[in-house]
Amino acid sequence: MERFQILAQPWWVNLLLLVPALSYLLWRRKGLLLSWRKLVMLALFGASFGYVEAAVVVYLRTAAGAVGHYSSTISELQYSSTVYQQAVSALVQFPQSLRTIEVFREAATMIMLGTVAVLAGARAKERWGSFLWAFAAWDLAYYAGLWAILRWPSSLKDYDVLFLIPVPWVAQVWFPLLVSGLSLLIIVLSRIEKATSTQVHE
C-alpha cells in the first residue's frame, strides 16, 4: 500500500499550490468579469480535451507495456499498476525520440489552453482566470477519463508523471487534483464576489 507523500518532485513543483491562493488575492478586490456562459464553454473545451489526452495516454501506456492486454472492448482492457509504477520510475530510460514527442505534445497542450484563454478574456486577469479554469477542467477530466477506461488511478496515492517540461514532474494523484479543484473554487468565489458587489445580473 502506497504511503501518503506530501511533496512532489522536483521541489519547485510544490509551489503550484500557491497559484490558486495568489490568484485569489489578486482578484478578490475587483473580481473577475467572466460570465457563467463563458465558464461553461471553457469547461466543456477543457473537459473534452482532457478526455482526448486520457485516450492518448492509454495508447502510450499500451505501447509501453503498462497495460496488461487490449482486446475488443474497453471492459477487457486490463491495467497493471505495478508495471506502470515501474514505468514511472524508469522514465529516464524511455527512448529520447518518444520523450521529445511527449515534450512537444505537452507544449502544444499548453498553447491550446492558452489560446482559448486569450480569446475568452478581454483583460489579463480574465485571461489568466480563463486559463486556470480550462486547465483545471482539462486536468480533472484527464484523470476521470483514465479511471473510466483503465480504473486508474486506483488510489489518490498512486504516482503519476505530471509533465516532462523542463524535467519530469512526479507526484501522487491527489496533488494535481487538489490544485485543479482549488483553482475552480477560487474562480467561482472571485466571480461571485464581483457579481455581488456590483449587483450585475446576467
Residue 4 lies in a domain: no
Residue 27 lies in a domain: no
Query: pLDDT value at position 2?
Result: 64
Instruction: Count structural domains, the chain.
Output: 1
Angle, alpha carbons 57-69-171 (nearest 5°): 40
Residue 202 lies in a domain: no
| Model confidence pLDDT, tens digit, residues 137-153 | 999 999 999 999 988 89
Its domain, for residue 86, covers 34-192
- DSSP per-residue codes, 74-106: GGG-EE-HHHHHHHHHTGGGS-HHHHHHHHHHH
Q: What is the pTM of this model?
A: 0.82
Residue 22 lies in a domain: no
Residue 15 lies in a domain: no
Residue 21 lies in a domain: no
| Model confidence pLDDT, tens digit, residues 45-90 | 999 999 999 998 888 777 766 555 444 444 444 444 454 455 455 4
For the cut 90, the answer to whether the pLDDT of residue 127 exceeds it is yes
| Model confidence pLDDT, tens digit, residues 107-123 | 999 999 999 999 999 89
Query: pLDDT value at position 99?
Result: 79
Query: Which residues lie across from 79 on neighbouring strands?
Result: 67
Angle, alpha carbons 30-33-38 (nearest 5°): 155
Residue 180 lies in a domain: yes
| Model confidence pLDDT, tens digit, residues 168-202 | 899 999 999 999 999 999 999 998 644 444 444 44
